[in-house]
Amino acid sequence: MNKLAFIKCIAQLIPPKSRVLDLGCGDGALLSYLQEYRGCSGYGVEIDDQNVLACVKTDVQVIQLNLDEGLKMFEDQSFDVVLQIDTLQHLRNAETMLLETIRVGRLGIVTFPNFAHWPNRLSILAGRMPVTKRLPYQWYDTPNIRVGTFADFGGLANKNNIRILDSFGVKNAEQIRIFPNLRAPTAVFKIEKTN
């Protein structure tokens, strides 16, 4: 998937001038785009030294932090939007971090590889774990601790009283709204805390 096209697709979900916290921000490309084109401000959170350095080089404010340790340093509702773009599947405490996302932010945007995408289903039917563009690793060397689907995330959100404001799939940076669980390699959810 074209990185810039995906960034633009996600950026559309974020109101202009928002205060943003990007969890697992990588090289800071999304935050940099949001600052330049959407007038946003905020921080990235990243653990990898090389990615932290890349953020600093592009003037993205970054905090080096292991997300498995939580977000205790941030007050409730201290950001307009908290992003977890391809982060949730790497975390040991995914449910806790999902709750932290909506505690710290008024809105959350979560994306992850959709394990129910049809090529993955075919691989499983053939008796093999999927290896695709979206899930490019073998089962034994993947950085993903867990896999999920649209239905799985919906169940987790329901269990934790999280309101799903919008959900769709993304394929080649295009939104997939008809049968996204089957047709899209990436799941996208816009969420908020229920009152």
| Phi, psi torsion values for 122, nearest 5 degrees | -65, -40
> Given this model, what pLDDT does residue 69 score?
83
Q: Where are the beta strands (DSSP E) in 2-128?
A: 19-23, 41-46, 62-64, 79-85, 105-113
Q: What is the pLDDT of residues 123-151, one digit of tens each?
A: 888 888 777 787 777 787 777 778 899 99
pLDDT of residue 185 exceeding 90, the answer is: yes
Which pair of tokens denotes residue 2?
A: 């074209």
Calculate mean pLDDT across residues 176-189: 96
Beta-bridged to residue 188, according to DSSP, are 111, 168
pTM: 0.92
Q: What is the pLDDT of residues 71-108, one digit of tens each?
A: 999 999 999 999 999 998 888 888 999 999 999 999 99
Calculate mean pLDDT across residues 47-52: 94
Q: Under CATH, to which class is 3-193 assigned? A: alpha beta
Spans of all domains in the chain: 3-193
Q: Please count the other Cβ atoms lying within 10 Å of the Cβ belonging to residue 129.
A: 15
